[in-house]
Chain A
Amino acid sequence: MSEALIRVRDLQVGWGDRILLSSASFDVERGDVFVILGGSGCGKSTLLRHLIGLETASVGTISISGVGAPRLEGAAPEYGVMFQSGALFSSMTVGENVGFALREWTELPTDAIDAIVKAKLALVGLEGAEGRLPAELSGGMKKRAAIARAMAFEPKLLFLDEPSAGLDPVSAAELDDLIIALNRGLGLTVVMVTHELESIFKVGKHCIMLDKDSKSIIASGSPSQLKADSQDSKVHQFFHRQARVR
């Protein structure tokens, strides 16, 4: 069994006094594509925000690489994050977005940063888009650009919040292929939130399913394992109903 990169123990997730998950414990192994899934409002994105460090846990612990919760602000990024909307800085070009952290946290000359930006954009299939503004990109391109920005600082861990949400099936499939390529080709550990069944089966290696009513993790395992073996009616309904729709 490989080493756990992220270790979460007894984590309480919520906003203010509203608790979405009363106690969550799980491990994410290095090189994994770990999927957090569940219905709307069950706390998937909020759990991700806790893992990223954007929310502070009042109960429970998160440890990444054995050194506690990740540190935000005032230091070079330790991991990459792609937000649901992409969250590209609208006043900057795509190239400036991707090279943003490099300009701040390295002594690299502009030419070198430009070269890295070009390579990162090529990696996500956006060659030549560095001069364009985010408003000029389609939804799928924005998400690719956001992944390129998240990848700029060579992270070993990538967080993705609903990468295929709002995309057409072709763009969503292309994004899934990109995630697989990054995981296999670069050895990136990926933690993603989604409820797209197609993505879960195509990309996910392990997953946990959250439940709004019991405020807990109701299933854990590989997607195919959960689909075939889970006795929980909600898990069964989640995997089988969506599969039928598609």
Chain B
Amino acid sequence: MSSETTAPEHVFGDRVSLLAGLVPQFTWHVTELPDGVRVDLGGPLTIEEAPALWKRLTELLESSTSKTRVQVDNSGVTSIDGACTALLVHLRSELKARRVHCEFTGGSPAVRRLIELYGGRRRPKARRARPADNAVEQVGRATVAMFAELVSVLDFSGRLVRGAWFSLRHPSRLNWRDIGVTMERAGADAAPIVMLINFLIGFVMGYQSALQLKQFGANIYVADLVGLSVTRELGPLMTAIIVCGRTGAAFAAELGTMKVSEEVDALRTLGFMPLRFLVLPRLLGLVLVVPLLTLLADGVGILGGLLVAVLTLDITPVAYWGETLKVVEPWDVFSGVLKSGVFAGAIALIACQQGLATSGGAEGVGRRTTSAVVTILFSLILLDAIFTLVLGALAP
């Protein structure tokens, strides 16, 4: 027979140590039985005792695998709360899962009532542990999920084409109001941040290139470098990234919230095609406004470079501007603007598709919004690379 008792002594006496389970107030007496063990519990079993009780229960659980029966006698328990009851019931169900019979005996009516309330009388079901997916199953699941997403994208595309065709035949049925709202929110409201960021990009580019070019006496070429990189690449790309963060995320979250709050279903029951009513206006609004933002970005980016040239390289504004006009061709600006229109389309379509694919409440909205932003950023870089190759080949 082995036994151990937790002395009901206060070492520190403060509540912190009680909460930490350092000073258990309950008693725990273990008696070996021919086919198992009996645990005699005594004293108060309250939330303060839970850490120490949990430790005892875990030890008991680990040592009980070779046993067939565990009896927990609550005769000495003076009080018990829900937390400790839950731990005892958990012990029983864990033992059951290991095919060890566990029973609660004794205890005051109040103790028995609480154990009963927490399912103590219910016969615990032996849990069948779900085997973890092996590598093949995980790959299989991921592939199925990928195909399901692909089907969802194809379905979205088909419906969008249908909605666009309907709108072409009935232009008065297009949601013109939302086009205006989108242009205002994604365009006018975004102009300050687009201008600030692109100005700083032009400024930093100008500064970095000035440091190098100054060494060779090629100061004036700062204008060439800034002008070409801003109009061809940085202006459209930085603008698209800002629009992705501001508007793409907003589209995905807005449509996702509408989806989970049944507003999209309500639209359908009123006869509306959600893609025609919700997606097309956003797509058109963005495709119209982002090229304008890009032109603005080009202008302020060049201004940023000009400021650096004037302040650090002693180049006059007129000379800088003249060099910019000499080197930046209309094609450079046009190709950037064209690219920004395609970027805008990608942002709107991906954000709306992700938004309308939302399910599962607030968590689903967050997940889809994150997914929309990541997918858009990846697509922007991919599209930019394709454009660089194609426009490079087409350049006059």
Which residues of B in the span 234-274 have a Cβ within 8 Å of any Cβ on A?
258, 261-263, 265-273
CB distance from B189 to the nearest CB of A (A): 16
Chain A residues in 8 Å Cβ range of B147 = none
CB distance from A80 to the nearest CB of B (A): 8
CB distance from B155 to the nearest CB of A (A): 13
Instruction: Assess A90 versus B269: contact at CB under 8 Å? Given A74-B166, A104-B173.
Output: no
Q: Does the CB pair B271–A75 fall under 8 Å?
A: yes
Which partner residue on chain A sits nearest B260 by CB separation?
A85
CB distance from B246 to the nearest CB of A (A): 18
Q: Does the CB pair A81–B271 fall under 8 Å?
A: no
Q: Does the CB pair B273–A73 fall under 8 Å?
A: yes
Complex Cα gap A89–B267 (Å):
9
Chain B residues in 8 Å Cβ range of A221 = none
Complex Cα gap A79–B266 (Å):
12
Chain A residues in 8 Å Cβ range of B173 = 104
Partner of B269, one of A74, A77, A104, A105: A77
Q: Does the CB pair B269–A81 fall under 8 Å?
A: yes
Q: Does the CB pair B266–A89 fall under 8 Å?
A: yes
Q: Does the CB pair B263–A72 fall under 8 Å?
A: no
Q: Does the CB pair B262–A87 fall under 8 Å?
A: yes
0 or 1 for each of A49-93: is its CB under 8 Å from B? (1 = yes): 100111000000000000000001111110111011101111000
0 or 1 for each of A147-172: is its CB under 8 Å from B? (1 = yes): 00100010000000000000000000
Q: Does the CB pair B262–A72 fall under 8 Å?
A: no
Q: Does the CB pair B263–A89 fall under 8 Å?
A: yes
Chain A residues in 8 Å Cβ range of B267 = 89
Q: Is A101 an interface residue (CB 8 A)?
A: yes
Interface of chain A, main secondary structure: loop
**Which residue among B262, B263, B265, B270 has the maximum number of chain A CB atoms within 10 Å of its CB?**
B270
Q: Does the CB pair A84–B271 fall under 8 Å?
A: no
Q: Does the CB pair B270–A100 fall under 8 Å?
A: yes
Complex Cα gap A83–B268 (Å):
12
Complex Cα gap A75–B258 (Å):
21
Complex Cα gap A38–B339 (Å):
56
Chain A residues in 8 Å Cβ range of B270 = 77, 100-101, 104, 149, 153
Instruction: Assess A104 versus B271: contact at CB under 8 Å? Given A83-B262, A85-B261.
Output: yes
Interface residue tally for chain B (C-beta within 8 Å): 15
Which partner residue on chain B sits nearest A105 by CB separation?
B271
Instruction: Assess A72 versus B269: contact at CB under 8 Å? Given A85-B261, A87-B261.
Output: yes
Chain A residues in 8 Å Cβ range of B166 = 74
Complex Cα gap A54–B267 (Å):
11
A-B contacts counted at CB < 8 A amount to 56
Interface residue tally for chain A (C-beta within 8 Å): 26
Q: Does the CB pair A54–B269 fall under 8 Å?
A: yes
Partner of B271, one of A87, A101, A149: A101
0 or 1 for each of A24-63: is its CB under 8 Å from B? (1 = yes): 0000000000000000000000000100111000000000
CB distance from B179 to the nearest CB of A (A): 14
Chain A residues in 8 Å Cβ range of B265 = 49, 54, 81, 83, 87
Which residues of B in the span 37-72 have a Cβ within 8 Å of any Cβ on A?
none
Complex Cα gap A110–B166 (Å):
24
CB distance from B192 to the nearest CB of A (A): 24
Instruction: Assess A54 versus B268: contact at CB under 8 Å? Given A74-B166, A74-B273, A104-B173.
Output: yes
CB distance from A121 to the nearest CB of B (A): 17
Chain B residues in 8 Å Cβ range of A75 = 271
Complex Cα gap A153–B272 (Å):
14
CB distance from B85 to the nearest CB of A (A): 25
Complex Cα gap A104–B173 (Å):
7
Q: Does the CB pair B271–A76 fall under 8 Å?
A: yes
**Which residue among A80, A87, A100, A153 has the maximum number of chain B CB atoms within 10 Å of its CB?**
A87
Complex Cα gap A105–B172 (Å):
12
CB distance from B231 to the nearest CB of A (A): 37
CB distance from B325 to the nearest CB of A (A): 45
Which residues of B in the span 162-205 have a Cβ within 8 Å of any Cβ on A?
166, 173
Q: Does the CB pair A74–B271 fall under 8 Å?
A: yes
Complex Cα gap A83–B248 (Å):
28
CB distance from A119 to the nearest CB of B (A): 18
CB distance from B121 to the nearest CB of A (A): 20
Complex Cα gap A83–B262 (Å):
7
CB distance from B384 to the nearest CB of A (A): 33
**Which residue among B173, B262, B273 has the maximum number of chain A CB atoms within 10 Å of its CB?**
B262
Chain A residues in 8 Å Cβ range of B261 = 85, 87, 90
Which residues of A in the span 126-180 have a Cβ within 8 Å of any Cβ on B?
149, 153
CB distance from B273 to the nearest CB of A (A): 5
Which partner residue on chain B sits nearest A83 by CB separation?
B262
Partner of A84, one of B262, B268, B273: B262
Q: Does the CB pair B268–A73 fall under 8 Å?
A: yes
0 or 1 for each of B192-229: is its CB under 8 Å from A? (1 = yes): 00000000000000000000000000000000000000
Q: Does the CB pair A90–B263 fall under 8 Å?
A: yes
Which partner residue on chain B sits nearest A90 by CB separation?
B263
Report B's interface with A, CB cutoff 8 A. Answer: 166, 173, 258, 261-263, 265-273
Given contacts A49-B265, A74-B273, A77-B271, 16 further A-B contacts (CB under 8 A): A54-B265, A72-B269, A76-B271, A77-B269, A79-B269, A81-B266, A83-B265, A83-B266, A84-B262, A87-B263, A87-B265, A87-B266, A89-B266, A100-B270, A105-B271, A153-B270
Q: Can you show 30 pairs from A to B with CB atoms below 8 A apart?
A: A49-B265, A54-B265, A73-B268, A73-B271, A73-B273, A74-B166, A74-B271, A74-B273, A75-B271, A77-B269, A77-B270, A77-B271, A80-B269, A85-B261, A85-B262, A87-B261, A87-B266, A88-B263, A88-B266, A89-B263, A89-B267, A90-B261, A90-B263, A101-B270, A101-B271, A104-B173, A104-B270, A104-B272, A105-B271, A149-B266
